[in-house]
């Protein structure tokens, strides 16, 4: 269970820094710095640069993503920005525009 | 790792939760309820209820339906419902609400703005005091 939940209908404008899992069902604008997992659910909107551990996107992310682990773009995801991660999956039905940097 | 789960619906919006090791600098707005166990610097406006948990520290002006504080809150509170300052809480600012309760063991510095009718026997003797 995520320890920080940005529920649907909740908007945070600013900077979020956390050591915990983050679940985004609402809107985040600004910056999202996590050390652990980040899940952007369907309907969730992130207009921010995101750093964190494993990152799963089913919603929308506009901004650069940097993960120390894997990034999974699931069907229905919409990502505009550069992705830096050790592993990445882009599922059929995910929209993605940007560069991928896998640190090879 | 974070698992996908659905939020419980309240006040037509989702529930927000700022965990203990989370720090937010900026504005939080929402239709639902919000629970803060971490640190927030910036204004909070929610249509539902705000709970500031034990160990949480909030430096914000707050606008919510009801507000319950068990942690530290620095800022002005405007509530349409009840404001409850629980034992162990440290609150500084102006509290405005339908009901305001300060429990024994809570620290409070500031102003209370609470609308209520004074009993008739107090009306005459306190005419010099300002009623809100």
Asked if the model's pLDDT at residue B126 lies above 70, the reply is no
Per-residue pLDDT at B99: 84
pTM: 0.82
Asked if the model's pLDDT at residue B127 lies above 70, the reply is no
ipTM above 0.90, yes or no: no
Write out the two tokens for A41.
């659910």
Looking at every residue in chain A, the average pLDDT score rounds to 93
Quick one: CA dihedral B28, B45, A21, A42, positive or negative? negative
Per-residue pLDDT at A103: 76
Query: Per DSSP, which regions of chain A are E strands?
Result: 4-6, 10-18, 22-24, 27-34, 38-40, 45-52, 55-57, 60-62, 65-67, 70-73, 78-80, 83-84, 87-90, 95-97, 100-101
Per-residue pLDDT at B121: 78
For A44-77, what is each residue's pLDDT tens digit?
Answer: 999 999 999 999 999 999 999 999 999 999 999 9
Contact of A101 with chain B, judged by CB distance below 8 Å, is answered with: no
Decide if A2 and B2 are in contact by the 8 Å CB cutoff: yes
Least confident of A37-46, B3-12, B40-49, B104-113: B3-12
Decide if B2 and A39 are in contact by the 8 Å CB cutoff: yes
Cβ-Cβ contacts under 8 Å, A44 against chain B: none
What is the three-class DSSP state of B120? Answer: helix
For B11-48, what is each residue's pLDDT tens digit?
Answer: 446 789 999 999 999 999 999 899 999 999 999 999 99
- In this prediction, residue B120 has a pLDDT band, given cuts at 50, 70 and 90, of confident
In whole angstroms, give the CA distance from residue B129 to residue B110.
Answer: 17
Query: Could you give the angle at the alpha carbon of B94 between the alpha carbons of B88 and B95, nearest 5°?
Result: 65
Average pLDDT for residues B117-125, to the nearest whole number?
A: 72
Distances (CA, A) of B63 to A29, B24, B72, B78, B110: 20, 17, 16, 5, 17
């Amino acid at each position: 269970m995520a320890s920080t939940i940005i529920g649907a209908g909740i908007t945070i404008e600013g900077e979020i820094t956390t050591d915990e899992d983050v679940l985004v069902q609402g809107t985040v604008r600004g910056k999202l710095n996590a050390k652990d997992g980040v899940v952007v659910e369907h309907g969730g909107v992130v207009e921010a640069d995101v750093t964190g551990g494993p990152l799963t996107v089913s919603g929308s992310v506009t901004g650069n993503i940097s993960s120390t682990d894997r990034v999974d773009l699931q069907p229905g995801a919409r990502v505009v920005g550069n992705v830096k991660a050790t592993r990445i999956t882009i599922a059929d039905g995910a929209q993605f525009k940007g560069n991928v940097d896998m640190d090879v | 790792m974070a698992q996908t789960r659905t939020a419980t619906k309240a006040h037509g919006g989702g529930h927000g939760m700022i965990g203990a090791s989370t720090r937010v600098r900026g504005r939080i707005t929402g239709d639902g309820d919000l629970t803060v166990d971490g640190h927030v610097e910036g204004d909070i406006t929610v249509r539902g209820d705000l709970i500031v948990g034990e160990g949480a520290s909030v430096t914000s002006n707050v606008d919510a339906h009801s507000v319950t504080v068990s942690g530290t809150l620095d800022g002005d509170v405007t509530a349409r419902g009840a404001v409850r300052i629980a034992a162990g809480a440290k609150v500084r600012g102006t509290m405005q609400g339908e009901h305001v309760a300060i429990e024994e063991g809570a620290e409070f510095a500031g102003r209370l703005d609470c609308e209520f009718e004074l009993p008739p026997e107090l009306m005459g003797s306190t005419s010099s005091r300002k009623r809100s």
